[in-house]
Amino acid sequence: MTMERRIFFAVVISLALLWSWAALAPKLFPELARPQKPVTSTTSTAGTTAAATTSSSPAAPATATPRNAGTLAQSVVAAHATPVAAEALTISTVNTPEFIARFSNRGAELISFRLKNYKTKSSDGLVELVKARDPQRTDFPFAIEAADGNLTSRLNSALYQVTERTEGSVHILDYRYTGADGVSARKTFRIGNDFLFPFEVAVSPAVPYRVAIGYGIRTLDPTEKDTQIIITGNGVVQRDESLKVIAREKSDRVNLFQNVDYVGIEDNYFLATLRPEKPAGGALHSIDIYTGPKEKRREFYAAINASPDGIVRGSSFFGPKQASVLDRYGLEKTLQFGMFGVIARFFLVALLWINRATHNYGFAIIVLTIIIKVVLYPLQHKSNISMKRMQKMQPKVEAIKARYKKSRTDPDQRQKMNTEVMKLYQQEGINPMGGCVPIVLQLPILWGFYGLLSRAIELRGAPFVGWIHDLSAKDPYYVLPLIMVVTMFIQQYITPTTVDPAQRRMFLMMPIIFGFFFKEFPSGLVLYWLVQNILTIIQQTIMNRWWENHPDNDDRKNKDITVEKKPRKLREQGNE
């Protein structure tokens, strides 16, 4: 198999892997392939009540009530003598520069968390990180999951008394509930301008329970489903500085962990986590939500266990997976760009820096592509020279192959032929793999850009020009992929090759294969490859003209010899 054919098949296999992922994603994650319908609250198997939900999954490990409970727990116990509850439903809204959070005193739960700086793709609405669901449900974020299902239902449906106050820029919500039998609960939230905010939950008498967020994280709009690269609702858990991502559809019903640093739910661009004050037990458990008569979707809850004194202290993050934000809060490992994440991370830093000048991520991609091309130019130049020299040596190579033509099926003779060809390359100072290096280097760059454009929230919804309104989504009219195919044909036509005409026609099919793969890829990735092609065409055109006067060019030598053989008088007349 010739070198060009190896390169061809290597590129095709790499692209097939990319395309296969985009094609299989809707099957692995059904929400990518069909519109999501409202949750049917009347279906008992969908977990329509908090009691049903908690009864289907184990509660936190049993713990004994300590002799000396914490200060907060003691204050709750002291309130047993007098029932404490609100008479009416109350919604508290905390408005910050970054988000709008809404808490309900029914269960003292978070019912809405909208990000001010991120909009849905199909409208101008703000991104909502609390998944849309039946308002009668009582398992919104910060619900209690106890071993006793009746206690769970009671604490999550009770109307808590709420006290609100501010301390500087921090808005404090203090929820209290005490039943006639002395069972009490208290939840406190301290909301500032940061996406990470502290919370504290106490239940008395102390019983085994967990504090949970979920189910799922946000509802995708139809536009995002069309991209086939969005993955939503997976679980994440970090233990001992090691992060593990748990696929929603393939997970066990209940995943229990000891001493978690944090546990949460993610999608490509957003994250919701619970982080205990000290490493504690945690869980990721799931239920099946029926979105139609024959359609269901598995969703995660993320939870952390209460300590033996009945108290949960920690912090919660609801926000974007923006690199600078995640780095600030120690959540940077949740931003995963795939196999070549290091390259993608570098490209992200470079794009952010370039965008300060361009104010358009599309133009930033163009500038970055030019920089990459300049950096790789020496290798590309050597590759072109190697290809030209191999093209020059092709008649000698074909002569060697002709001598062994009748014994091609003999392994020993074929080995001798290959040895003789390699010896010829060594004598001429040619590296037969020299032309492969630039292509091999392009593949990690391609994968890095793919991971970057499907994960970097900075590029989510970033417009370019005209019809390209989102560089992280596919070109809706396939204009960029079509232009990319045309440039690839031109590039193939002007690039030197050592293959025969029949094989060259086979290589001319590569642009069509690329176009088929790339049509569903993010438009930013197609833009990168298109600019790369254009720069390669310019470079190859200059190279071809430079080669005309290169000493190793046989055509030039023959031309010079022809000129010298002319009669002197004719040469002088030509010069005149």
Residues 6+ apart with CB under 8 A from 297: 30, 31, 36, 288, 289, 291
Task: Indicate whether 157 belongs to any domain.
Answer: yes
Task: Indicate whether 556 belongs to any domain.
Answer: no
Domain identity same for 323 and 388? no
Beta-carbon count within 10 A of 65 CB: 13
Task: Indicate whether 177 belongs to any domain.
Answer: yes
Report the pLDDT value the prediction gives residue 123, as an integer from 0 to 100. 74
| Cβ atoms of 344 and 452 closer than 8 Å | yes
Task: Indicate whether 268 belongs to any domain.
Answer: yes
Cα-Cα-Cα-Cα dihedral of 448, 452, 454, 457, to 10°?
170
CA distance 188 to 183: 17
Domain of residue 259, CATH code: 2.70.98.90
Domain identity same for 325 and 381? no
Strand arrangement, sheet containing 262-267 = 161-167, 170-178, 184-191, 196-204, 311-320, 270-276, 262-267, 232-239, 242-246
Residue 99 dihedral angles phi and psi, to the nearest 5°: -155, 165
Looking at the structure of the chain, the number of domains it has is 2
Domain identity same for 252 and 383? no
CA distance 434 to 430: 8
Say if residue 463 is preceded by a cis peptide, omega within 30 of 0.
no
| Cβ atoms of 517 and 19 closer than 8 Å | yes
Domain identity same for 352 and 318? no
- Last residue of some domain: 330, 361, 380? 330
Report the pLDDT value the prediction gives residue 77, as an integer from 0 to 100. 46
Task: Indicate whether 7 belongs to any domain.
Answer: no
Residues 6+ apart with CB under 8 A from 447: 14, 18, 338, 339, 340, 343
Distance of CA 446 to the CA centre of its chain: 14
DSSP letter, residue 176:
E
Report the pLDDT value the prediction gives residue 7, as an integer from 0 to 100. 52
Domain identity same for 325 and 373? no
Domain identity same for 325 and 349? no
Task: Indicate whether 400 belongs to any domain.
Answer: yes
| Cβ atoms of 309 and 70 closer than 8 Å | yes
CA distance 129 to 120: 11
Query: How confident is the prediction along the chain (576 residues), in pLDDT tens digits per residue?
Result: 454 555 555 555 655 655 555 555 444 444 333 333 333 333 333 333 333 333 333 444 433 333 333 444 444 444 445 899 999 999 999 999 999 999 999 999 999 999 999 988 777 789 999 988 877 788 999 999 998 999 999 999 999 999 999 999 999 999 999 998 889 999 999 999 999 999 999 999 989 999 999 999 987 777 666 456 778 889 999 998 899 999 888 877 899 999 999 999 999 899 999 999 988 999 999 988 877 777 788 899 999 999 999 999 999 999 999 999 999 999 999 998 878 888 889 999 999 999 999 999 999 999 999 998 888 888 777 777 777 677 777 777 778 778 777 776 777 777 888 888 888 777 777 766 666 666 677 788 888 888 888 888 988 889 999 999 989 888 999 999 999 999 998 888 777 665 556 566 667 788 888 888 888 888 998 999 999 999 989 988 887 777 666 555 555 554 444 444 444 444 444 444
Report the pLDDT value the prediction gives residue 143, as an integer from 0 to 100. 96
Task: Indicate whether 83 belongs to any domain.
Answer: yes
What range does the domain containing 416 cover?
A: 345-549
Domain identity same for 405 and 462? yes
CA distance 460 to 327: 19
DSSP letter, residue 61:
P
End-to-end CA gap in the chain = 53
| Cβ atoms of 53 and 300 closer than 8 Å | no
Report the pLDDT value the prediction gives residue 158, as an integer from 0 to 100. 95
| Cβ atoms of 272 and 213 closer than 8 Å | yes
Domain identity same for 309 and 349? no
Domain identity same for 423 and 533? yes
Domain identity same for 310 and 406? no
CA distance 492 to 487: 9
Domain identity same for 359 and 273? no
- Last residue of some domain: 330, 357, 385? 330
Task: Indicate whether 339 belongs to any domain.
Answer: no
Domain identity same for 325 and 363? no
Report the pLDDT value the prediction gives residue 434, as an integer from 0 to 100. 61
Report the pLDDT value the prediction gives residue 390, as an integer from 0 to 100. 74
